[in-house]
Amino acid sequence: MKLFDCHTHLSEYSDSDVNDILTRAEESGVAGAILAGTTIESTKRCIELSTSDPRIFAGVGIHPSDIREPITPATYDTLMLLAEHPTVIVMSEIGLDDIEGAPCRQIQEEYLIAQIEIAKRMNLPIIYHSRMTYPYILDILRNEQAGECGGAAHYFQGDINTAKKCIELGFDISLARPLLRMPDLQEVVRYIPMEHLVLETDSYPQTSKKHRTSWTEPRHVKEVAQAVASIKGITLEEVTEQT
């Protein structure tokens, strides 16, 4: 039994880098990863990599921060076509973002709703992005019946009440390395049943870090799993089997 990274951006690396990263992951007990699409082009890259490496699965999506224009029928049709590929197992990364400089909220919502519709048509779980948009994003997920597909709240750092509402809507709580340093998030994990937890790293090239060895990679899922085990008072093997 091995761990798995449910959300990465390994498509931003070269083919050889991806192979090395996943080899290091395997050596740490992490079998593979899902690659999240953030644009049409990155989604195609995710699919390309997933076709050539059995350790990889692909996500389809346009990230809210990467929206450049209102959604068009052509964009919708392209996303739909990409979502039909056999190595695609999630709609990811889609959602809402409210940081300074983020695209128009109305257009973000149009993309989110359209991509939820594709997920429902293709029966794909949704891994959604929410930065400074709780609890509002939950209203959209509820109104669009996104819970029919299920999925996960990506890189969750909210409180217990928010986590409970996510779960009630049909979404698991996706944990990453912030769990190692956030006592409030550790309290959330203490409260949430294991069957509603999944693990990720959100790995991408962290060029701002001085040393390459300090970049987050899928191998670090093991650290997150060990933290969950410690908080829950269970074994790493139990966390591995459940997640």
> Which whole number is the average pLDDT over 155-174?
98
Q: How confident is the model at residue 168 (pLDDT cuts 50, 70, 90)?
A: very high
Residue 64: asked if its preceding bond is cis (omega within 30°), the reply is: no
* Ramachandran quadrant class, 170 (left: phi over 0; alpha: psi -120 to 50; beta: rest): left
Taking the C-alpha atoms of residue 132 and residue 142, their distance in angstroms, rounded to an integer, is: 18
Q: Could you tell me how many residues make up the chain?
A: 243
Task: Convert the pLDDT of each residue in 153-162 to its tens digit.
Answer: 999 999 999 9
pLDDT at residue 181 in the model: 97
Residues with Cβ within 8 Å of residue 7, at least 6 apart in sequence: 34, 36, 59, 92, 93, 127, 152, 154, 155, 174, 176, 200, 201, 202
- Using one digit for the tens of pLDDT, what is the confidence trace for 82-96? 999 999 999 999 999
Q: Give the model confidence (pLDDT) of 99-142 as tens digits.
A: 999 999 999 999 999 999 999 999 999 999 999 999 999 999 99
The predicted pLDDT at position 134 comes to 97
Residues of the chain with pLDDT > 70, as a percent, come to 100
DSSP track, 13-46: S-HHHHHHHHHHHHHTTEEEEEEPP-SHHHHHHH
The residue-averaged pLDDT of 202-206 equals 96
Q: What are φ and ψ of residue 156, in 5° steps?
A: -65, 135
> What is the tens place of the pLDDT at every residue in 35-59?
999 999 999 999 999 999 999 999 9
Instruction: Give the strand order in the sheet containing 171-175.
Output: 3-8, 30-35, 56-60, 88-97, 126-131, 151-153, 171-175, 197-199
pLDDT at 156: 98
How many angstroms separate the CA atoms of 157 and 182, rounded? 8
Of 146, 189, 197, 147, the residue nearest 170 (C-alpha): 147
CB 36 within 8 A of CB 46: yes
Give one DSSP letter per residue of 55-116, joined into a string: TEEEEE---GGG--S---HHHHHHHHHHHTSTTEEEEEEEEEE-STTPPPHHHHHHHHHHHH
Q: Indicate the average pLDDT of the chain.
A: 97
What pLDDT score does 106 carry? 97
Q: What is the mean pLDDT of residues 222-226?
A: 98
